[in-house]
Amino acid sequence: MNATFARFCFSLFAPAIALATVAPLSAESLEGSRPSGKVMPTLIERFTPEDVQETPDFQKHVSPLMGRLGCNGRSCHGSFQGRGGFILSLFGYDFKADHAAITEGDDPRVDTDSPNESMLIYKPTDEDMHEGGKRYELNSWEHRVLHNWIKGGAKFDADNVAILDKLEVTPEEIVFNRKDQTEPLRVVAHWADGTKEDVTPLCRFTTNDDQVAEINGDGLVTSAEAGDTHVVVAYDKAVVAIPVIRPVSKLIGDNYPAVPTPTKIDQLVVQKLKKLGIVPSDLSSDEQFLRRVSLDIAGTLPSPSEIREFVADKDPNKREKKIDQLLDTPAYVAKMTTLLCDITGNNDQQLVNVSPMRVGPAQEWYDWIYDRVEKNVPYDEIAAGIVLARSRLEGESYREYCEEMSDMYRDGGTFADRDSMTHYWARREFRQPEERAIAFAYAFMGVRIQCAQCHKHPFDVWSKSDFDEFKTFFTGARFATQPPRYDQEGFAQYEEILDKLDIDKSLKGNQQRREFAKELQKGKTVPFPELVVMPVSNISRNAKNNKNRKGLPSRSPEARVLGEEAIDLRDYEDVREPVMEWLRGKDNPYFARAIVNRIWATYFSVGIVHPTDDLSLGNPPSNEPLLDYLAKGFVEHNYDLKWVHREIALSRTYQLSWVPNETNRLDVRNFSRSVPRRLPAEVAYDIIQQATAGDDSIATYLTDIEDRAISIPGTRIQGNAQYPLQIFGRSERASNCDCDRSMEATLLQTVFLQNDFSLHASMANGNSWIGQVQKSMKPQIDKKSTEASKIQAQIKRLYEQMGNGRAYAERLAAKGDQQRAREMRQKLLAGKKRLEVLRAQLEKVQAKEEKEKTEVIAFDSPAEMVTEAYLRTLSREPSEKEMTISLAHLRSADEPVAGLHDLMWALLNTKEFIVNH
């Protein structure tokens, strides 16, 4: 390992949390070490003199220094298998284990009688002896720190923990004005005992964008390209992000032009843009705004009549009224419900043994959330209905619960009427406390805590012990097919219900559930699975009796929510209650911020914190005051989801044009313009259907959501929608990551829009707009049916069959049934040959019928047809050039309808159609 690589290791993997004690300084220690308000100088200054007598502290000095030297990095002793039989905790988070690894065992790394004979000293200073190469020089300050610690007895007291109150980093913000400027950071640790120390040489420094700012292991920041980012400082338990800005223009301070800021969002956005020298784009046109807001709020294109009416409206408040109108549509409810289903993990494949009926639990999950979004139930109440879900109501017996559920399914009731949504706890990948803790943090906090499952989180304050205590809150609930035996009354009632059914008692699983369904239809009460919430007393007793069982909590009656104050679990009937109380706390740093940040990203395609599921200290917001305002306002407005949507959509920031100016053409994270962005898969699929639909249905897409992709409940998709939704990146809800949804453009998307059978079929069927136009035209041949039309019908049917066949082949391949998939592809090849034959026949028949035409019919107004096509797809009228080209093509087409088909195909394949801008 060379010196360059060592510095790289240091920049990534330095020590993190404060879990050890402060070793007392020797009598010769500096005066500044006492609580006098003075700041102790750096270790470099104190340990460079040869006669230094100070004894350094393991937690504050030795472990961080080993991080600087790269010892506890992932590629060195911090890896899970260690190196050379020497294992340290990754990032140096576990002081107790690291101290034991250094000082104990058959071959300890220290020799307190002869410090320089310690392996901790002689190996890292010998490039040949040490596999990692030379880490420091003899007689260097690093050498003296380690030597004096070993000489002082290599002590560590795990019973006394040094608490870091604050990590002070100066400057708090860096503003450069040219490339290659430098600015050093100074980092001072404030300890709970009143001491202060300059720990700059012991920190871990990283940059969030090295294209804008670089930082070395000594905390020296160097400017690069214009823009903004953060450099992140980590020491002990603290993580601090420092903004770094290099303006992109000279339009800063007094040179910044006057920019309208009608809303608080606009004020906060422009406040940041002023520092960057970025001027916002102009306001979008009415057509651009209407298309954008309709797609973002309701996933729906505005109809041509709606566009004409909106543009002609002179009401200055028309945009605000349109936003309110869209927020009152079923399409908004469906789109917001889909987002919440993505976040909470509504996945068909993970839901088993949820009901004895053949009812889709994913649909019930969707319906439960839809009902609450439609009623605009406060978001904290929606979350509480999931987090604190129970199958039985308070005081309800198991028999009464089964009677209620049996009546509901038998009488056609709806799961949405139930108080809580238990299916969240029924997922197969959600059974262990670790899995639940990770998924919960992702869904309701927007954070990734899985790193802390094994080691200290590299960019946040959580340690493994924090994670272990946090998972305790998820041990008290489980989804069970029958009441637990400790619930003697409930278990007895289960057996009584089972005994009254006319079924074979030996049946299990699916066979038993089928029989339950039959009995239910006979009017009988059947047993239902339930979410069992174990009392705290039972959890503690089980923990004592099952010490070695994975996932069970400790015996301690206390636990902490990610490093917060200890909570006495004996004060709660349900261990999930304190977590929900913590989420609802006024100053909770995650709950409100997570959902408003995710909603913001649906409007801008990038969150204020991005990625949207990584609200860690090391990934700060691009605009902290903006996120704070939205989160605080959300809580003050009683967690009103519509308030967030309305506040964002009403801002001038959201309504800006996509057309860039010289200052903002490269801006993608400060919201100075609308960045054209790919549409979500469900919306992309729906608007293809809508744009090609007939006049009778195009305007119903806001209210009729029954067959829309945005209202598909789970992840199991049937029919022609499966393939396009897959290639356009619909969320698979397979992991705890917002990246399950892809917004990237792919070649398959282009191929689909250009060549897919289902797309051509949607344009050509009798209920489509083109089909409607064709029907309205005068007969070209004085016959009700011609040989040509019969062949055309055959071609149309064959197109549809091949489209279905292609989707079926893709499903078979995805399931691993390659043999049947190949057979289906062979049928598709045969279908293509048949198409060629039919086309040849059609050409001959059409040539014959051409002579029999009684008249040639064109559009009554071709220009109106062109305008209608543009309004249907791009939500605007064509330019003069576009109109000229379109009319020329219609005139050159053999059939007017064929020309219109070509025009619609071309518009559906424009970038303008498939993005929102």
CB contact at 8 A, 788 and 845: yes
Contacts of 433 (CB under 8 A, 6+ apart): 471, 472, 474, 475, 551, 552, 553
Strands 227-235 and 238-246, sheet pairing: antiparallel
CA neighbours closer than 13 Å in the CB half-sphere of residue 457: 26
Residue with token string 């093509």: 889
pLDDT number for residue 21: 28
Residue 863 has pLDDT above 50, yes or no: yes
Contacts of 360 by beta carbon, 8 Å cutoff, 6+ apart: 348, 713, 714
Give which of 601, 594, 622, 635 is closest to 442, Cα–Cα: 594
The contacts of residue 116 (CB under 8 Å, 6+ apart) are 122, 147
CB 62 within 8 A of CB 145: yes
Task: Indicate the average pLDDT of the chain.
Answer: 84
Cα dihedral 247, 242, 188, 99 sign: negative
Taking the C-alpha atoms of residue 270 and residue 670, their distance in angstroms, rounded to an integer, is 9
**Does 102 have pLDDT greater than 70?**
yes
C-alpha to C-alpha distance for 300 and 324, rounded to whole angstroms: 15
As a dihedral over the C-alpha atoms of residue 348, residue 350, residue 356, residue 360, rounded to 10 degrees, the angle is: -10
**Over the range 741-757, which residues count as b (16 or more CB within 10 Å of their CB) and which as e?**
bbeeeeeebeebbeebb
Q: Are 340 and 373 in contact (CB under 8 A)?
A: yes
Instruction: Give the mean model confidence (pLDDT) for residues 516-531.
Output: 88
Residue 886, both tokens: 């379109």
Residue 507 backbone class (left: φ over 0; alpha: ψ -120 to 50; beta: rest)? beta
Could you tell me the pLDDT band of residue 365, with boundaries at 50, 70 and 90?
Answer: very high
Q: What are the tokens at 300?
A: 């729906």
Angle, helices 880-892/896-908, rounded to nearest 10 degrees = 140
Q: Which residues pair with 678 in a beta bridge?
A: 915
pLDDT of residue 875: 97
- 238-246 and 174-175: which strand pairing? parallel
> Which DSSP symbol is given to 61?
I
Buried b (16+ CB within 10 A) or exposed e, 834-869: eeeeeeeebeebbeebeeeeeeeeebeebeebbbbb
- For residue range 45-75, what is the model confidence (pLDDT) as tens digits? 999 998 999 999 988 898 888 878 776 655 5
Angle at 275 between CA 273 and CA 277, to 5 degrees: 65
Give burial (CB, 10 Å; 0-12/13-18/19+) of 776. Answer: exposed
C-beta neighbour count of 139 within 10 angstroms = 12
Contact 219, 185 (CB under 8 A): yes
Q: Go through the chain and tell me how many residues it has.
A: 917
Q: Please write the tens of the pLDDT for every residue from 189-237.
A: 999 999 999 999 999 899 999 999 999 999 999 999 999 999 999 898 8
- Please say whether the beta carbons of 630 and 600 come within 8 A: yes
Residue closest to 292 by CA, chosen among 605, 631, 593? 605
* pLDDT (average), residues 279-300: 97
Confidence (pLDDT) at 699: 86
Q: How far apart are CA 53 and CA 64, in angstroms?
A: 20
> What integer pLDDT is reported at residue 625 of this predicted model?
97
- Give the sign of the dihedral formed by CA 635, CA 636, CA 640, CA 645: negative
pTM above 0.75, yes or no: yes
Asked if residue 171 has a cis previous peptide bond (ω within 30° of 0), the answer is yes
Residues 150-176: tens digit of each pLDDT: 888 888 887 787 888 999 999 999 999
In 772-900, where do the E strands start and end? none
Half-sphere exposure of 458 (CA within 13 A, CB side): 19
pLDDT higher than 60, residue 826: yes
Q: What is the pLDDT of residue 141?
A: 87
Question: Distance (Å, rounded) from C-alpha 424 to C-alpha 767?
Answer: 40
Q: What is the mean pLDDT of residues 562-576?
A: 81
| Number of neighbours of residue 796 by Cβ within 10 angstroms | 16
Beta strands in 10-151 (DSSP E): 39-40
pLDDT for res 92: 59
pLDDT beyond 80 at 448: yes
Average pLDDT over residues 340-354: 89
Q: The tokens of 202 are what?
A: 């012991």
On the question of pLDDT at 616 being above 60, the answer is yes
> How many angstroms separate the CA atoms of 238 and 242, rounded?
13
CA distance 646 to 492: 53
Angle of CA points 575, 567, 427, to nearest 5°: 30
pLDDT digits (tens, 9 = 90+) for 637-673: 999 999 999 999 999 999 999 999 999 999 999 999 9
Q: Select from 76, 44, 216 the least CA-distant residue to 143.
A: 44
In eight-state DSSP terms, residue 218 is T
| Local confidence band at 281 (pLDDT 50, 70, 90 cut-offs) | very high
Domains (ranges, CATH) in the chain? 3-162 (no CATH), 170-246 (2.60.40), 286-328+587-678 (no CATH), 351-437+461-583 (no CATH)
For residue 656, what is the DSSP state? B
Check whether 3 has a pLDDT greater than 60. no
Reported for 833-839, long-range contacts at CB under 8 A and 24+ positions apart, including other chains, are: 834/798, 835/795, 835/798, 835/799, 835/802, 838/791, 838/794, 838/795, 838/798, 839/795
- Residue 897: both structure tokens together: 């309808």
Best-predicted range by mean pLDDT among 143-157, 287-301, 450-464, 474-488? Answer: 287-301
Q: Which two tokens stand for residue 778?
A: 């005068």
Nearest to 420 by CA among 466, 381, 386, 458: 386
- Can you tell me the distance from the alpha carbon of 18 to that of 10, in angstroms, rounded to the nearest whole number? 18
Best-predicted range by mean pLDDT (279-288, 412-421, 500-509, 751-760): 279-288
